[in-house]
Chain A
């Protein structure tokens, strides 16, 4: 424990810790981090940068272009504006931007600190859990299909476990100013620093449950503070363009969510409820690496404008013997094209075009695993659950997408779409024709499996700027 850190703050005589949510995913807004550092009175600033597909997509990007960094390409852009202030104010940074190679990311942050003239910055890399080379040999089965993972051995491009908070706790105990991790359970980015600050044992399920509730509410950034909530006439959110990202203040017995004054957005029980259930299956049994959390034991109370107290009633249950692993599998290629219609007979002309394309696909012997036609404006979003068409639409976009095993088969789609300019039906509008390149992209499907904890070793390394 370095005395330089300000987390000995007290709230009404109790130790309190303040954490801010800088990002919810890799390509989230950039402004909140700086605002939180300048005005948030924070102990920790946390960056979440992953979705389910992040690691496999990064792996594929590196196969296609070896120059692609193995970590979040926004790593430097995110940290450069704030690193000096964070060090000066004693705000520690927790980030899962290490992706495939947290050590390389940590070294990059050290180089950035040197370039900025920040002396004595300690950057920890938390690695482990990347099982790409081993996963097929562990005798596991995919949860989705029940099939042995080994049967897909040739197609595996990535496999990584969701790690728990241990690596983050160890890194902070070693005095890290910045902690860069590979994939960890998103909520652990918040639970980790809390466990470190309050000295919770990671086997203490009750505290782990509290920590995971906090982390789960915070991990999606603005989504708990009025983002992704507004619905005109039903749910009002002030100044959506300037949402203030959430801050959580935690003491031994209280959890209070807030956001910076004079920012847009909304923090209310309703915004917290939406986030509590977001991406959750059985709320009474929310699996994480460090515990199982019973989210039905959570309630919310508005304590001031844009301030909500989170009431957690014994939500933590003991952890399971396994960790969840995501496995990325090469599954060929996909591509999509669109053609555009409007005015009288638009829908009839779109339908005629679908029939024409289906005929052409037979003519050229297209070998596709799946072909999908959507009528954007009618059924492109809710698909077959969309209501029947009762009113002739003024405009409609025919979108066609397909999946193939062979890249050359996927390229056939554009070779049939482009000629519609002269071979198609009347008044066929075109889109993005000036881009001559291929819109074919590789498909990496994700499956999951459960791996015994013993199969995963977490290691922490420290990297210093001089």
Chain B
């Protein structure tokens, strides 16, 4: 039995800018979920989310020692902070879009929010 949850329950993310590119990390809360990230947080899946605003390449890099993936989205900031007309000019708010990605986990999987509730 599987269930679909949002990536937010499995990983955290931070986005930053480099010129007209955005860099978006995806970091597993638990190291044992890194394989799940590698399998499901693919370039294709990320393009489904960011495709409408990404005019260039999307690249994925693996960082196994810290259980993380790093995505680089080219030509996503309408020219970059120096010249963009986008209201949010830095792309620093783009990480939350990544965390909306649906992922499939075992039915018994306990997500981050429930773990946090149980811990407090």
Contacts and interface: CB of A to CB of B under 8 A. Distances in A.
A and B interact = yes
Given A274-B14, A278-B16, A282-B72, A385 B83 contact: no
Contacts of B102: none
A331 B62 CA distance: 37
Contacts of B93: 381-382
A234 B85 contact: no
A374 B87 contact: yes
A300 B18 contact: no
Contacts of B23: 277-281
A236 B94 CA distance: 20
Interface stretch (A96-104, A174-182, A203-211, A438-446): A438-446
B40 interface: no
A236 B116 contact: yes
A284 B52 contact: no
Interface in A290-338: 295-300, 328, 331, 334, 336
A384 B23 CA distance: 18
Contacts of B78: 372
A447 B19 CA distance: 8
A382 B94 contact: yes
Which of B8, B29, B82 has the most C-beta atoms of chain A within 10 angstroms of its own C-beta?
Answer: B82
A283 B21 CA distance: 15
Given A279-B18, A383-B52, A384-B52, A53 B63 contact: no
A329 to B, nearest CB: 9
Contacts, number: 137
A298 B52 CA distance: 34
B53 interface: yes
A52 B65 contact: no
Nearest to A234: B112
Contacts of B85: 334, 336, 370, 372, 401-403
B: contact size bracket: 35 or more
B12 A235 contact: yes
A384 B86 CA distance: 11
Q: How large is the interface on A (under 10, 10 to 19, 20 to 34, 35 or more residues)?
A: 35 or more
Contacts of A270: 12, 27, 29
Given A277-B63, A381-B93, A444 B16 contact: no
A233 B70 contact: no
A156 to B, nearest CB: 13
A99 to B, nearest CB: 16
A380 interface: yes
A53 B52 contact: no
Given A281-B21, A381-B88, A385-B52, A446 B80 contact: yes
B97 interface: yes
A385 B93 CA distance: 12
Given A384-B52, A446-B19, A276 B81 contact: no
A376 interface: yes
Interface string B22-64: 0101010100000000000000000001111100000101111
A374 B89 CA distance: 13
B82 A445 contact: yes
Given A228-B14, A383-B52, A385-B50, A399 B87 contact: yes
7 contacts: A234-B113, A269-B66, A270-B27, A297-B65, A298-B66, A328-B82, A381-B93
Interface of B: 8, 12, 14, 16-21, 23, 25, 27, 29, 49-53, 59, 61-68, 70, 72, 78-83, 85-88, 93-94, 96-97, 112-113, 116-117
